[in-house]
Amino acid sequence: MSEKIYVIGHMNPDTDSICSALAYAEFKNQVDPGNEYIAARMGEMNSETAYVLERFGFSEPVLLEDATGLNIILVDHNEKSQSVEGYDGAQILEVIDHHKINFKCSEPIYYLNEPVGSTATILGDMFLSTAKNIDEGIAGLLLSAILSDTVVFKSATTTEKDWRVAKKMAQLAKINDIKAFGIEVKKAKSSLEGLSANQIIYSDFKDFDFKNSKVGIGQIEVVDSAESEMRRDELLDELNDIRESKDYDLLVLMVTNIMDEGSELLVSGLSNKIEAAFDVEVKDNRVYLDGVMSRKKQIVPLIEGVF
């Protein structure tokens, strides 16, 4: 009997989560035509992702609010704290991811995790080795997701494999200048205009539990810091409000400038943890970290280490 299986990325979806869900659903429909694989999302897409989908002619994945009783495949995440409502009551059939693993299962499942720059890198490789055909649009989605997650290959998470798969995908998607296209993708999200401070903080936000301390870390990427500097006080006020109303011990917004290759951290709560983690002084609730662009590699492990 044909089953419906939802392929879904993390909460507050980024381009990698959305494009990987679309691409992996397509891959599975090719290799397992007996079942129906449906790309899904949890929450609203950001403007960068909307730009990418429009560019390659895709409509947005279906919104999944509760996965209780459903068959699901997780892409681009594995932890419950970053996943859909109903996680415990869902049948998780597979995980394809590139994050640290915090996952339990009672039966053997297909679990593929690689320390590469994006989930799309893993999927692109899979398409190249196994799929019957790679649609120009799917290649475009995967290329965009690699460029997005690796910040156009500038992030410390970038590997040789990201480059290799991106080049192949660019050929298939008929994109000649990969870096120029990457900046174009990044620019689609970098404007803060029309967004409230709350929307900016939550545009790419992750929750963490560090030894029972509640920590939240958001990240925005800008190509020019003028806008975020102008709104710094407003962003700090909103961080304080969120921390108080949602009981965070530490709340951080990384404002990453992809041209300067560094991040300013706006900090609410335990700023002594930030000082200890990075050996810096937090002044007026902020500190600039040169060369730091990756939340996953350069921020999360260091903060976790001081809890």
Which positions lie near Mn ion, rule CB under 5 A? 16, 76, 118-119, 149
Smallest distance, Å, CB 178 to Mn ion?
18
Token code pair at residue 111: 């679990």
What is the C-alpha to C-alpha distance for residues 119 and 113, in angstroms, rounded to an integer?
9
Q: How many CB atoms lie within 10 A of CB 234?
A: 12
Between residues 43 and 306, which has the closer beta carbon with respect to Mn ion?
A: 43
Smallest distance, Å, CB 169 to Mn ion?
15
The torsion angles phi and psi of 80, rounded to 5 degrees, stand at -60, -40
Helices (H) and strands (E) counted in the chain, each on its own, are 11, 11
Between residues 76 and 204, which has the closer beta carbon with respect to Mn ion?
A: 76
In angstroms and rounded to an integer, the radius of gyration of the C-alpha atoms of the chain is: 19
Between residues 228 and 294, which has the closer beta carbon with respect to Mn ion?
A: 294
Smallest distance, Å, CB 207 to Mn ion?
16
Between residues 21 and 235, which has the closer beta carbon with respect to Mn ion?
A: 21
Smallest distance, Å, CB 127 to Mn ion?
17
Between residues 90 and 120, which has the closer beta carbon with respect to Mn ion?
A: 120
β 62-63/36-41 pair status: parallel
Cβ-closest position to Mn ion: 16
Smallest distance, Å, CB 135 to Mn ion?
21
| 298 within 8 A of 157, measured Cβ to Cβ | no
What is the C-alpha to C-alpha distance for residues 28 and 203, in angstroms, rounded to an integer?
29
Cα dihedral 148/290/10/31 (nearest 10): 40
**Exposure of 2 in the CB half-sphere (CA atoms within 13 A):** 9
Smallest distance, Å, CB 264 to Mn ion?
22
| 127 within 8 A of 142, measured Cβ to Cβ | yes
Smallest distance, Å, CB 279 to Mn ion?
28
Between residues 53 and 236, which has the closer beta carbon with respect to Mn ion?
A: 53
Smallest distance, Å, CB 34 to Mn ion?
29
Between residues 7 and 287, which has the closer beta carbon with respect to Mn ion?
A: 7
What is the C-alpha to C-alpha distance for residues 18 and 6, in angstroms, rounded to an integer?
12
Between residues 76 and 227, which has the closer beta carbon with respect to Mn ion?
A: 76
What is the C-alpha to C-alpha distance for residues 282 and 63, in angstroms, rounded to an integer?
39
CA angle (199 as vertex; 198, 203 as ends), nearest 5? 125
Token code pair at residue 275: 């000082």
